[in-house]
Amino acid sequence: MFFLRQSTVSQLVVVKLVDSIDGVTPETGKTLGNTSKRISKNGAAFGNISDGTVAELEDGLYTIQLNATDSATLGSVTLHIETIGCMNYDEKGYVLPANVYDSLFSTDKLQADIQEVAGMVVSSVDDFKANVGTLATQLSLDAVGVLCTAINAKTSLIPASPAAVGSQMDLVDSPNATALAGIASAIFSSVGVTQGGTYSFAKLLKVMGAWAGGRWRLKSGSTYEVLDVEDDTTVIMEVTISTSTPYRIVGVMLV
């Protein structure tokens, strides 16, 4: 396969001629007349090569020179070589636009003209700027839409009741009676005490405070008094430690 630059002179294509009998032995010293070398441009009928200058290299290799006429048509191009004593030789190549050829085989850069931006036709620099601005705006709006959807997915999980003023979840600024009653009920239930019974919430706190931080004072024998954590005087509980078992007998003195 070979590539040609469109409408360009002095382009060389290398061909190899071998013996027509064994198909291997290189054929040297061949002179190729006009009818021996033919060209087909982009699938059209074969014709004589316009330039066709032949130069022998070595070992059955020859160059065939093509000119601007030979490379004028973009697309595929096929060379056909047919001469006495040699197997017929066919080689296919392609004619490329000058910019494409030079970007592949020289120092040029492939030219890519912008025809559309976001589906909008670009016919000038101003069109391009305007269309890029429209695209940027659309991308920004799309990003905002995605963000709003994400926020909505989170906020939709928040119940309406806690957001209402005076609801049972309004405990920070001004706790109401309903909220306090709910908390007290939950505490009573968790410790197994009947709400409205002998012990009030305040008494339960007194007992818990004394047990956790009150001073223990020996009353007699193995019985201790547990004093109020605040005044260190009021007896909240009496605890009798068993000498024969690992248990303690606790009596609440607070009434």
pLDDT band of residue 17 (cuts 50, 70, 90) is very high
- Whole-number pLDDT of residue 167: 52
Q: Is the pLDDT of residue 106 over 70?
A: yes
Segment 43-67, tens digit of pLDDT:
999 999 999 999 999 999 999 999 9
pLDDT tens figures, 202-232: 777 888 888 888 888 888 888 888 888 888 8
pTM above 0.75, yes or no: no
Domains in the chain, start-ordered, CATH in brackets?
Answer: 2-105 (2.60.40), 198-255 (no CATH)
Q: Which of 176, 183, 218, 225 is nearest to 204 (CA)?
A: 183
Q: Report the C-alpha gap between 5 and 68 in whole angstroms.
A: 9
pLDDT reported for residue 38: 95
**pLDDT value of position 26:** 96
Whether the CA torsion 93, 96, 98, 99 is positive or negative: it is: negative
* Whether the Cβ atoms of residue 30 and residue 86 lie closer than 8 Å to each other: yes
Q: Who has greater pLDDT, 68 or 140?
A: 68
What is the Cα–Cα distance from 212 to 169, expressed in whole angstroms? 30
Please list the alpha-helical segments (H only) found in the chain: 98-105, 125-155, 160-163, 177-191, 201-213
Q: By the 8 A CB rule, do 66 and 4 touch?
A: yes
What 8-state DSSP symbol labels residue 181?
H
pLDDT number for residue 176 = 65
* pLDDT tens-digit series, residues 148-200: 787 777 777 666 655 555 555 544 555 666 766 777 677 767 766 565 566 67
The two three-digit tokens of residue 92, written as one number: 């296919």
